[in-house]
Amino acid sequence: MRMKNGGALLWLGLAACGGLPQEEGLPPGQEMEQPAQEVSAQACPVGVAARVKIVQSSGSSLAGLGPLSELTDVQGTLYFTSQSSVGVTLWRSNGTDVGTVPVKTFQGLSGVVSGLTAVGNKLFFRGYDAVSGLELWVSDGTASGTKLVKDLTTGMDGSTLLNAAEVNGQLLFYRLTSALKTELWRSDGTPTGTVKLGDFDGLTGLLNSLTMKVGNGLLFVQSLASGTNLLRSDGTPGGTVPVLKLDSGLAQLKQVLQPTGTGTGTNAQSVFTLVDGLLNEVWKTDGTPAGTVRLDSFGAPVQLLGTLGSNVLLSSVDPLTQQLRLQKLSLTDGTRQLVGVLPNPSSTVVPVVQKAVTEGSQVLFSVAYNGLSTVPDNVILWATDGTAAGTKQIFQPLVKSSDPLSSPLLGTGTGKVLFVDGSSLDPMFTQGTAALTGKLASLPASTVSKVGNFVRSGSRVFFSALDDTGSPQLWSVSASFSCPAGLTEQAR
């Protein structure tokens, strides 16, 4: 049950800059430091982050109700969708005003464009029209090249398509049938090149969009009463084969970390959790039987945060103290080590990790402290390098919402992580410490979410921003932007 917080959090602003409190098994001298000042983040110069184009008219009846959606990179070209009273419009952008153009509008209140997935220079997505219903579409960025791929379910009933992923230059996806069977399909964007690879019962994780792609194969878990198996597909019927039996009975795929490296080397492996009754198992796989190994089992739910070197970072909640415990698990031999315990302002508040990203030598993650309300009491951004001394509170509050997707988190690949200030609702950045945290841009005051998800495309990061037009518009910033990050101290 979600319990109400009996008091306010102990920190103000960016106050908690110290390490974790001392706990048994940790070296002494790492208690949380209590600052004497309130602090606020300095802002980047005006223009560092700027509007790319006005894509939504302020006169539109639906403008301002939500951010631009489905921001997706396709070989350095950005695609996204906007919604208006006319329908849903698919856009493409090269990061300039003149190069940001509408591709196609799916008209009507039932218009749907979702699940944008890049495959080479093509964009696949689920689209709706009155003839075929919801089906698979493809686009090359032009109106004439945006078309229905194949009517998989004849008529306007449409198809339930899930977990699209690029494998060997083709799209692999699942189709759920009316009989609740699961079909695996591949497509090259043509009707003749869109074929069924096989039928499967008991696939787990589909509704949570859990997809594992390692090297040149897509991995998926099939859970049946006769056993839970890991399977692999390279996009061909003959290449869709079992890898390893993971369990002798039913088990559920719970969470997936995408590969820790690139290519097909030893670092190209996924880490995933499998729930087997009361056990929460952590596995690694490189897509081969020998490389699929159970690392450890836990008697309580665990959450994967990210990989650092040869370790995977994970968290769990102590049921007695309601404190979040950070541990690291060796990907080499499965040895477990306690990193530390995050402080909790109240033993009746339940901490939940919402999102986590790996940037350089750190994992940054947002923790929501949930009370009785569906809205968290607080959401705090933390960073860890896998050590107690290197685990720090970065910022609070992040966006407090019952929907964790409303509080985006993105590693830019340039040493900075982007997030949203929960008080001002402005876009923020951090270089992994509270002292190197700043405001990316100052947007007009608003009581609704102003910033949508961040996506890197080419050398820029794009995001949706509710700006002075009164509507969500397309904004961007160079991925390697430079700003005078730092904190302004104010005496209490």
Q: What pLDDT was estimated at residue 15?
A: 31
Position 282, amino acid? V
Which among 224, 241, 331 has a CA at the least distance from the CA of 282? 331
E-state strands within 360-452: 362-370, 378-384, 392-395, 410-411, 417-420, 427-430, 437-439
SS (H, E, C) 311-353: EEEEEEECCCCCCEEEEEEECCCCCEEEEEEECCCCCCCEEEE
Tell how many helices (H) and how many strands (E) occur in the chain. Answer: 0, 38
Position 360, amino acid? G
Name the burial class of residue 29, with classes exposed (0-12), middle (13-18) and buried (19+) by CB atoms within 10 angstroms of its CB.
exposed
Neighbouring CB atoms inside 10 A of 182's CB total 20
E-state strands within 194-320: 195-200, 212-214, 217-224, 227-233, 240-247, 252-257, 270-276, 279-285, 293-298, 303-308, 311-317
Q: What pLDDT was estimated at residue 368?
A: 93
> Is 10 within 8 Å of 345 (Cβ atoms)?
yes
Q: What pLDDT was estimated at residue 22?
A: 38
What order of strands is seen across the sheet that includes strand 240-247? 212-214, 217-224, 227-233, 240-247
For residue 80, CA distances in Å to 14, 114, 195, 388 come to 34, 10, 27, 40
> What does the DSSP 8-state code read for residue 85?
S
Neighbouring CB atoms inside 10 A of 207's CB total 9
> Is 261 within 8 Å of 213 (Cβ atoms)?
no
> What does the DSSP 8-state code read for residue 34?
P
Binned average pLDDT, 10 residues per bin, the chain of 492 residues: 30 34 39 42 88 81 65 98 88 98 85 92 94 94 97 89 95 90 95 95 86 91 95 94 96 88 60 95 96 96 96 94 95 96 84 94 94 86 97 95 83 96 95 94 90 96 94 96 66 29
Tokens encoding 279: 């056990």
> What does the DSSP 8-state code read for residue 421?
B
The gap between the terminal CA atoms of the chain, to the nearest Å, is 37
Q: What pLDDT was estimated at residue 28?
A: 38
Q: What pLDDT was estimated at residue 258?
A: 85
Tokens encoding 78: 């950005």
Q: What residues form DSSP beta bridges with 157?
A: none
Name the burial class of residue 97, with classes exposed (0-12), middle (13-18) and buried (19+) by CB atoms within 10 angstroms of its CB.
exposed
Which among 300, 305, 268, 298 has a CA at the least distance from the CA of 284? 268
> What does the DSSP 8-state code read for residue 5?
P
